[in-house]
Amino acid sequence: MNLYKPTGLMLALLFAGCASRPEPVQISTAAGPEAAITAQEGMIEDARKNHVDVLAPVAFQEANGLFNDAKKEKNNKDIYESLGISKAYLNEATSQASARNLDLQEVLDARDEAMTAGADFGSLKSGDDDLKEFTQDADDYKEMKTSDKEKITAKYLKAELIAIKTNKLGTIRTTLEVAKSKGASKLIPKTYRTAMMRYRAAEKSIETDRHAPTVYGPAVAAASASANRTLSLVETAVATQNQTPEQRALTLDARNKALMEADELNAEVTEEALQKDEALAAQSATLNAVANERNDLKTKEMQDQAVANAAAKFNDSEAEVYRQGENLVIRLKQVNFASGRSELPAQSMSVLGKVKTVLQDLSPSAVMIEGHTDAVGNAATNQKLSEQRAASVAKFFESDTNMAGKKFDTAGFGFSKPLTSNKTAEGRAQNRRVDIVITPSQQL
């Protein structure tokens, strides 16, 4: 094997004014400079995947800079020289990273999940910059606290969530933006609002179960179908704005045929008579669809108003109100149970009073009160605590004479359904919650 070994003169020049540089690694010259460059590039990419660039940023940056210098060199001797020092720095960076890997395992797991989800450089940058503030200097690293690690972990978890949302909802969001640019919010406002509500429902589903595609998949599919329908309807509305009734009917008929072709429903229709029959049937279907849509829109308007009325009773710090299928969910933010306790705090009475008003307005056929905890403590203790907290809220409602005859079911889920990571104080606070799931007497 041929190895390139720098001469004494080269080393003297190399280390002049830079005594802290590591001793260059001998580089094999047997396969030529291009193969040596390719091998070093592979090692640098492997180091990035193993977080070496953020665990030992100074040495890694030196290694990467010298590697880039090697790619620009014209002389083979200079190429091998730069590669040798680059590899030495990379070995140093890898050693530093290995020593810190275990201590920062939770941080790195979160970063790994974000990268796997497809988080781009921009999404990772905030967490990376914070991490590098500690890892670029040995003394700073010694001063790193648990709270610092939790904050960085939270940033990587946020980057992961953004990446998942972008992957699953990016096309849907673009479709809705195009529909809006074509006038959907004015021409077909109710259909557009429905699509936006389903989009937000899909977002909530992903936020709650980001690692469970089978759980949030139906909500994403519903949002996609609603967005595509919105775009199709607004394009038809724009095309028919200035048309006569006959032209409008022909346009609707053409759109209907296009949709059928897209679904391969009329792929075998070849005879002229059958085509005419299909056209007549399509016209009839269009008329029926318009009537059905009018009824659906009226029902949807009533549903949207019910949700809006409920949401208007709370400010952002008190509760979050959203639809979940046929139900309305009030996610309470200000119950604030004491740690390990199930008694209702005095400061929670105001927001619970507002919930009672919503219940009286909706006359629900069923109410489920769900208790949730953070992951502090064992599963059995948290399960019991979540059940007790749900029961406390139910008892509060049942004590009101205006609630007489209403049925309140309770369930505890312990820490089995977190909204976000339990690795941070902020995340644990979000996970300690009570959800009121309301089934109105008329479906939402």
Mode of pairing for the β-strands spanning 364-372 and 3-4 = unpaired
CB crowding 28-37: b at 16 or more within 10 Å, else e: ebeeebeebb
Q: Which residues of the chain have pLDDT under 50?
A: 1, 5, 7-19, 262-274, 276-277, 280
- Alpha-carbon distance 439 to 444, whole Å? 8
Residue that is written with structure tokens 């992903």 in the block: 206
Residue 258 is predicted with a pLDDT of 52
DSSP classification of residue 323: E
Sorted by where each begins, the domain ranges of the chain are 3-101, 242-262+273-282, 310-440
- Alpha-carbon distance 134 to 155, whole Å? 16
Helix 349-362 × helix 272-312 angle, to 10°: 140
297: exposed, middle or buried (Cβ count in 10 Å: 0-12, 13-18, 19+): middle
Give the pair of three-digit tokens for residue 296: 């659906």
Give the pair of three-digit tokens for residue 52: 């070496």
Rg (CA), the chain: 31
Residues 6 or more apart whose CB falls under 8 angstroms from that of 42 comprise: none
DSSP classification of residue 423: T
SS3 351: helix
Residues 6 or more apart whose CB falls under 8 angstroms from that of 173 comprise: 199
Give the pair of three-digit tokens for residue 399: 């004590």
Looking at residue 42, its amino acid is: G
Residue 155 is predicted with a pLDDT of 93
Residue 284 is predicted with a pLDDT of 55
Residue 156 is predicted with a pLDDT of 93
Give the pair of three-digit tokens for residue 148: 């610092």
CATH of span 310-440 = 3.30.1330.60
Residue 68 is predicted with a pLDDT of 94
